[in-house]
Amino acid sequence: MADKTENASNVMTFDALYTTNQIQKLKVLLPYIEPSMQKHLAIYIKYMELQYTMDYVRKHPFQLCGCDLSSQKKPDLGKLCKELCLYSTPDEIKQLEQLQNMLKTLETVQEMSQTMSAMQEIFPDLAMDSPFENPFSGNDSSADTPGHDETTRTSQGSSMLDMLMNMLTPEQRTMYEMFQNNSKP
């Protein structure tokens, strides 16, 4: 519950910046107004907020503090998805969760790519042409190296690939295979 309040505070901060106490008082009074007049008051409140926002932006043309993406290394898309879920429909939440899972899978693929690069440094005979190409497929530059036969390379590479693939969830494995298939010409 605290997390939901913390995430909602961004929205409250934005609302507080672009409103006045007078407008907030009208919002408090809205439920106490005759029902036939509530619609008109709601429109008037939104009109006042728009008018105040336009005046505020004209008077303060500088960037909002804390809204500069360039000051951060990179935005946390997972956190953004969680914050958007607070204001989303169930179908939108499912889509955001799918996006979060895809982001996690991409991170895993990136980590695997880095791991494979490190493995290439440790075992230089296992050359990789592409980060998504199977580095253990036997199509490497060690074919010309004396003392390395096809059977040895294939069995070593296969066991290492099996070990890495067993670390993945089924969804991550499917995503990896999809990237691997898409990267081939």
Does pTM surpass 0.85? no
Say what the alpha-carbon torsion angle 106, 110, 111, 113 is, to the nearest 10 degrees.
Answer: 140
The pLDDT value given to residue 50: 94
Q: How far is CA 15 from the centre of its chain?
A: 25
Read off the pLDDT of each residue in 4-21 and give the average, rounded to a whole number: 75
Read off the pLDDT of each residue in 48-76 and give the average, rounded to a whole number: 75
More confident residue, 75 or 83: 83
Q: Is the pLDDT of residue 41 over 70?
A: yes
Scan for tokens 């879920």, then name that residue: 85
The pLDDT value given to residue 138: 45
Per-residue pLDDT band at 46 (split at 50, 70, 90): very high
The pLDDT value given to residue 42: 95
Say what the alpha-carbon torsion angle 98, 101, 105, 106 is, to the nearest 10 degrees.
Answer: 70
The pLDDT value given to residue 144: 46
> What does the alpha-carbon distance between residue 60 and residue 17 come to, in Å, rounded to a whole number?
12
Most confidently modeled range among 62-66, 68-72, 143-147, 162-166: 162-166
> What does the alpha-carbon distance between residue 90 and residue 168 come to, in Å, rounded to a whole number?
28
Percent of the chain with pLDDT over 90: 18
> What does the alpha-carbon distance between residue 86 and residue 80 come to, in Å, rounded to a whole number?
10
